Each structure stands twice: as structure tokens, then as C-alpha cells.
């Protein structure tokens, strides 16, 4: 096993100075204590941190909720009666494919704007202030879709709501990854995915429940229910502690110290533990500043940060290209395969339940398998499911319809056990701390842009008034799934059990993805540049 250490390029402080040596000693103490924690011990010691991480992650429920609300309306009779147009091919009303694309993409355009705003706002004002402002924004903007009278106004309302969702997408992931110790990081970041899935499950149930309501209330009521979330989350964000990493990066160590006091449990040694944790954060931040001084978006595409940005972008995009794009249009897809409206809604609820069940199962896998292993394993299994779905597109009959539905459920469950939740610790851990918000923003922007392309293509693939591929669309996403998996084999590193400082060293020394798991990194040892450790297998 090779070992890598600090070099002159990364050593931005003089360890011969007593105060600096004391800082490093405290940092080593915190790092050593962090590594000894089991999951159970960490949960007991940092239960406040876990609570706040999970509470603020609940904001993603709103995005997942709207995702299914909009796409489910394309198969809801009441919505079609109000906004649909008569198809010349079928002689019945339907939402045109171009409007399906426009409505689905309008929120994504808003999310892109929110992502950009969040990258600036978190660095300037911190996580709490940013969360509170955009909760207020969300509460106001919900009025637009509730009282819209045309598809164009609905699209505008979706875009305005999407600004808040763009902020919550990256804020929740970065906050969750920064307030808990390394051993708990995959669990709280994967919970972000579960919240997103929880929103999808909730909206699936709501859409099914309003299916029997006559008139416009059937589609207005699901929008009205979005007002449940902003006020309690706003109050929670007000009382939540700030991310100590964020506070240190903004030059506010006292705020970081107060946050650490609130995040840890009461104990006789809490003061010493807080100082050690603060020293570790300051030490790691100094390492990151050596390579990312300035922390601009341009820095994300320079030096070793380009590789980190690439990983973030592809891992995010693969969330759609793995075949998840079809799942977003499950109601219309199932109706195109021969299911009735209510049958499609019922199956959709089963699909949405997989997001919660799968996330819990994934928690059980994290102690035993690496993130990259879980991620690639999920892609592989989904590839074969998509091939089978595509093949069933050439078969007629109720048996084929049922087989498609079963494969949809199996594929969704697999995705939410593996690829879905494993994405979040990967994208939270691979960026440098100074560029974490910006790198996640860029990756999530690529995800949203991929979603825009998918929302243009997928409705046309499955719509009877467009390309009418039906289940054959599975072949297309099997191809994109395979390309993503090939990239993962050569470029996706394993970060399981690594601290942020170790990950910084591994990227700085340009360790290949396949060797990440087996290379030892010591972020406290130092050798001059001319004596830099070589990789010796």
C-alpha cells in the first residue's frame, strides 16, 4: 500500500511555530477520535447534528413532490379537460408533447437560477440565512400555480418555485455532509435522496386521492398542499446551528465554535472536543485554501479541481441517464403500455414507495460496501431491467403490460437501493471544501440540463401523438446507462471512510480512481517537495 503526505505546495503554515503545532496536534486528536467512532457511538454523540441535518434535508420533499405532480397531471383527466387540446391522430384531448416539455423544463430553468444564487449566497451569508430567505420565497411563489388559468402561467409559476428548489438541492447536501462525522456522512446525505423520494411518494398518493374529484380542484388541491412545508422549515432553519465548516470559510471561528457546541452532546470533555474539532476544520480549510485560493467558479475547472468537477457532473447526470428519466413519466408510460388511468396511478404509488424502502436498505449496505461499488452495481442491474422493458415493447397483451409494471417496480427499487442514495455522499465528498458549494452547483446544473434534454426526448418517445415508442424507449436508456457505467469503471474513485483532508491529498497527488481505495493518505505528515513520497505498489 502506497502512502502520500503533505508537500510544500499544500503546506501553507509553519509547523515549527508553537501555536501552529498546537493546532495540528488538536486536529490530529479530533481526526483520531473521529475514526474510532462506530455508527452507534456517532449517533449517540452527535444526535443533535443528525437531527438538524435531517431536518433541513426535508426541504427536498417539496422538489420531489412537484416532480410527480406535474408529470402525473399529463395523465389526469381533469387536468387534460382544462388544458388539453384535441389530437388529430386520436380525436381525444391530450397535453401536447411540447407543453409537457415546457412545463417539466420550466421548473428546471428556475432551479438552474437557484443553483447559481445558492453558490454565492451560502458563501456570503451561510446556510441558515439562505435557507430562511428562500423558504419565504417559496411560500409566496406557490400562489402562482394554485391560481393559474393557462399553461403559460403555470410554467412561469413552476419556474419561480424552481428557484427555491435549486437552492435546497445543494444546500441540504452540503449542510448534511458538514455537520456530522465521517462515519455518519453517507447516512445523512443518502437521507437527502430519501426526502426527495418521500416527496414523490406523497405526491403520488395525493394525485391518486384527487382522481375522483370533479373539476379544477382535482389539480389545484395538490398545489395548495405545498404550503404545508415552508413555515415549519423556516422556523426550524432559524433555530438550527450554522455549518461550522461554512463559518470557518467565512472567517467566523467564533460562530463555528458556537455551532460545534450545539451539535455535540453534553459531556465533561465537550470543551476539549469542540476545540479539537474546530482545529481540524481550520487545518483542513488551510489545506484546501492552498489549492483553491479565490474560490471562483473558474477554479472548479483548473488543476485537480477539474477532475473533481467532472466526477460531480457525471455522477449527477447519470441519475437521469441510468433510466430514471422513464420513471418520471411512469403514469403516462404505463397508460401508453395499456394500463387504465387509475391502474397507472396505483402502480405509480408502488414505484414511489420504493424511494423510502430502498433508502433504508441502502443504509444497511453502507457499512459493508463502498460508494462506487454500490453505484456501479445499481447501474448494472438497471441496465438489464431496461433491456427487458425494451424487449417487452414488441409484445402485446396484458401479460406484457404486467411484466413492464413489475420491471418498473424492480428497477425503481434497485435504483433507490443503490444509484440514487449513493450519489449523494459521492457528490458531497469529492469536491474540495472551499469549492464544495460551487462544485455541487455545477454538477447539479449539469443534472438539470440533462433533465431538460430528457424532458424534450422522453415525452416524444412514449407519446402516442409523437414517436410512440412505448416500452421500446427502454433500449435508449439502456444505452445511456451502459455509457455511464463504463465511465464509472475508469473515473469514479472510492471515498468510503475517507476524511475531507485525506480526499484532498488523494486528488492533489492525482491518485487513479482504481487505486483510491488502497492508497494511504496522511494529512498531518510533511515531506519537502523533493522528497515527495512515490506510489509504491
259 found inside a domain? no
d(CA 422, CA 248): 28
Element (H, E) at 385: helix 371-392
Strand partners, 3: 520
Q: What is the pLDDT of residue 90?
A: 66
C-alpha span between 67 and 69 (Å, rounded): 6
Residue closest to 29 by CA, chosen among 207, 265, 278: 278
Q: Is residue 532 part of a domain?
A: no
Residues 312 and 297: their CA atoms lie apart, in Å, by 14
Q: DSSP state, 267?
A: -
Q: What is the DSSP string of 447-465?
A: HHHHHHHHHHHHHHHH-TT
Exposed/middle/buried for 34, CB within 10 Å: 0-12, 13-18, 19+? middle
Cβ atoms of 265 and 81 closer than 8 Å: no
Q: Which helix (H) or strand (E) holds 530?
A: none
Cα separation, 421 vs 335, in Å, equals: 28
* Cell matching residue 375: 453505484
CB atoms within 10 A of CB 149: 10
CB atoms within 10 A of CB 15: 14
380 neighbors 459 (Cβ within 8 angstroms): no
Contact assessment for residue 184 and residue 42, using Cβ atoms and an 8 Å cutoff: yes
CB crowding 389-419: b at 16 or more within 10 Å, else e: bbebbeeeeeebbebbbebbbebbbbbbbbb
CA atoms within 13 A on the CB side of 467: 15
Whether 140 maps to a domain, the answer reads yes
| The three three-digit cell numbers of residue 222, written as one number | 395538490
Q: DSSP characters for 280-345?
A: HHHHHHHHHHHHHTT--GGGGGSTHHHHHHHHHHHHHHHHHHTTHHHHHTHHHHHHHTT--HHHHH
The owner of cell 501553507 is: 12
pLDDT in 10s for each residue of the chain, 537 residues: 555 444 544 444 444 455 555 555 555 555 566 666 778 888 888 888 889 888 888 888 887 787 768 877 877 788 888 888 777 766 777 788 788 878 878 888 898 899 888 878 888 888 899 999 999 999 999 999 999 888 899 999 999 998 998 888 788 878 888 888 878 888 887 887 788 778 877 887 887 788 788 888 888 898 899 898 898 999 999 999 998 888 888 888 899 888 888 887 777 777 777 777 787 787 777 766 665 555 678 888 888 889 999 999 999 999 999 988 776 666 666 666 666 767 777 777 777 777 778 888 888 888 888 889 999 999 999 999 999 988 988 887 777 777 877 787 788 888 888 988 888 889 888 888 778 878 888 998 898 889 888 878 887 887 666 787 877 888 999 999 999 999 999 999 998 878 777 888 888 888 888 888 888 876 555 555 544 444 444
Q: What is the DSSP string of 2-50?
A: -EEEE-TTT--S-TTSHHHHHHHHHHHHHHHHHHH--HHHHHHHTHHHH
- Grid cell, residue 10, equals 499544500
Contact 40, 155 (CB under 8 A): no
DSSP single-letter state for residue 60: H
**Residue 166 neighbours by CB distance under 10 Å:** 28
Domain range for 114 is 37-240+297-497
DSSP lists the bridge partners of residue 521 as: 4
pLDDT at site 27: 54
CATH number of the domain residue 385 falls in: 1.20.1250.20
Residue 29 grid cell: 486528536
Longest CA–CA span in the chain (Å) reads: 83
CB 493 within 8 Å of CB 513: yes
The two beta strands, 520-526 and 3-6, are parallel
Question: Dihedral angle at the C-alpha atoms of 370, 376, 379, 381, nearest 10 degrees?
Answer: -80
Q: How many domains does the chain have?
A: 1
The grid coordinates listed for 15 are: 509547523
Distance CA 197, CA 203 (A): 10
Cell of 211: 382522481
Q: Is residue 272 part of a domain?
A: no
Q: Is residue 535 part of a domain?
A: no
Please identify which residue in the block is written with the cell numbers 395525493. Answer: 206
Instruction: Name the grid cell of 431.
Output: 469536491
What spatial distance separates the first Cα and last Cα of the chain, rounded to whole Å?
6
Q: Hey, what's the cell of 478?
A: 439502456
CA 109 – CA 35 distance, rounded (Å)? 41
Q: Is residue 30 in a domain?
A: no
Q: C-alpha cell of 407?
A: 420491471
Reference 512, options 14, 136, 23, 2; nearest CA is 2
> Residues 224-255, buried b or exposed e (16+ Cβ, 10 A)?
ebbeebbeebbebbeebbbbbbbbbbbebeeb
CB 535 within 8 Å of CB 511: yes
pTM, to two decimals? 0.71
Instruction: Report how far residue 153's alpha carbon sits from residue 150's, in angstroms, rounded to the nearest whole number.
Output: 5
Amino acid at each position: 500500500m502506497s502512502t502520500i503526505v503533505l508537500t510544500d505546495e499544500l503546506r501553507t503554515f509553519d509547523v515549527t511555530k508553537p501555536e501552529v503545532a498546537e493546532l495540528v496536534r488538536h486536529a490530529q486528536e479530533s481526526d483520531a477520535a473521529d475514526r474510532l467512532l462506530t455508527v452507534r457511538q456517532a449517533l449517540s454523540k452527535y444526535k443533535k447534528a443528525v437531527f438538524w441535518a435531517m431536518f433541513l434535508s426535508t426541504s427536498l420533499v417539496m422538489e420531489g413532490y412537484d416532480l410527480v405532480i406535474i408529470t402525473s397531471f399529463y395523465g389526469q383527466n381533469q387536468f387534460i379537460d382544462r388544458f388539453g387540446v384535441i389530437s388529430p391522430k386520436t380525436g381525444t384531448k391530450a397535453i401536447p408533447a411540447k407543453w409537457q416539455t415546457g412545463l417539466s423544463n420550466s421548473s428546471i430553468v428556475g432551479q438552474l437560477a437557484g443553483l447559481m444564487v445558492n453558490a454565492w449566497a451560502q458563501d456570503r451569508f451561510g446556510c441558515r440565512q439562505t435557507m430562511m430567505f428562500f423558504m419565504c420565497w417559496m411560500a409566496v411563489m406557490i400562489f402562482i400555480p394554485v391560481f393559474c388559468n393557462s399553461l403559460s402561467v403555470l410554467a412561469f409559476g413552476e419556474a419561480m418555485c424552481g428557484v427555491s428548489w435549486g437552492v435546497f438541492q445543494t444546500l441540504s447536501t452540503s449542510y448534511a455532509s458538514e455537520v456530522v462525522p465521517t462515519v455518519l456522512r453517507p447516512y445523512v446525505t443518502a437521507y437527502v435522496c430519501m426526502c426527495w423520494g418521500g416527496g414523490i411518494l406523497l405526491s403520488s398518493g395525493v394525485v391518486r386521492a384527487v382522481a375522483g374529484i370533479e373539476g379544477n380542484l382535482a389539480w389545484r388541491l395538490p398545489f395548495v398542499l405545498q404550503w404545508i412545508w415552508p413555515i415549519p422549515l423556516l422556523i426550524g432553519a432559524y433555530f438550527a446551528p450554522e455549518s461550522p465548516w461554512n463559518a470557518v470559510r467565512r472567517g467566523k471561528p467564533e460562530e463555528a465554535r458556537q455551532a460545534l457546541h450545539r451539535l455535540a452532546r453534553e459531556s465533561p470533555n465537550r470543551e476539549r472536543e469542540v476545540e479539537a474539532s474546530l482545529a481540524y476544520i481550520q487545518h483542513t480549510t488551510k489545506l484546501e485554501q492552498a489549492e483553491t485560493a479565490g474560490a471562483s467558479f473558474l477554479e472548479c475547472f483548473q488543476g485537480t479541481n477539474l477532475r473533481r468537477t467532472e466526477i460531480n457532473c457525471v455522477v449527477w447526470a447519470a441519475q437521469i441517464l441510468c433510466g430514471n428519466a422513464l420513471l418520471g413519466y411512469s403514469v403516462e408510460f404505463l397508460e401508453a403500455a395499456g394500463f387504465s388511468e387509475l391502474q397507472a396511478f396505483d402502480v405509480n404509488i408502488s414505484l414511489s414507495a420504493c424511494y423510502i424502502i430502498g433508502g433504508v436498505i441502502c443504509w444497511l449496505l453502507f457499512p459493508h460496501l463502498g460508494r462506487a461499488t454500490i453505484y456501479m452495481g445499481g447501474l448494472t442491474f438497471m441496465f438489464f431491467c431496461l433491456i427487458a422493458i425494451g424487449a417487452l415493447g414488441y409484445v402485446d397483451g396484458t401479460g406484457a403490460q404486467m411484466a413492464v409494471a413489475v420491471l418498473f417496480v424492480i428497477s425503481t427499487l434497485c435504483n433507490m437501493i443503490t444509484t440514487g442514495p449513493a450519489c449523494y455522499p459521492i457528490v458531497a465528498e469529492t469536491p474540495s471544501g472551499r469549492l464544495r458549494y460551487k462544485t455541487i452547483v455545477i454538477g447539479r446544473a449539469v443534472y438539470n440540463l440533462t433533465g431538460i434534454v430528457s424532458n424534450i426526448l422522453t415525452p416524444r418517445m412514449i407519446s402516442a401523438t409523437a414517436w410512440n415508442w412505448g416500452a421500446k424507449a427502454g433500449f435508449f436508456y439502456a444505452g445511456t446507462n451502459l455509457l455511464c457505467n463504463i465511465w464509472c469503471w475508469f473515473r469514479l474513485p472510492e471515498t468510503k471512510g475517507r476524511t475531507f483532508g485525506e480526499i484532498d491529498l488523494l486528488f492533489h497527488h492525482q491518485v487513479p480512481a482504481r487505486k483510491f481505495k488502497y492508497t494511504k493518505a496522511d494529512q498531518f505528515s510533511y515531506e519537502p517537495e523533493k522528497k515527495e513520497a512515490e506510489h509504491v505498489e
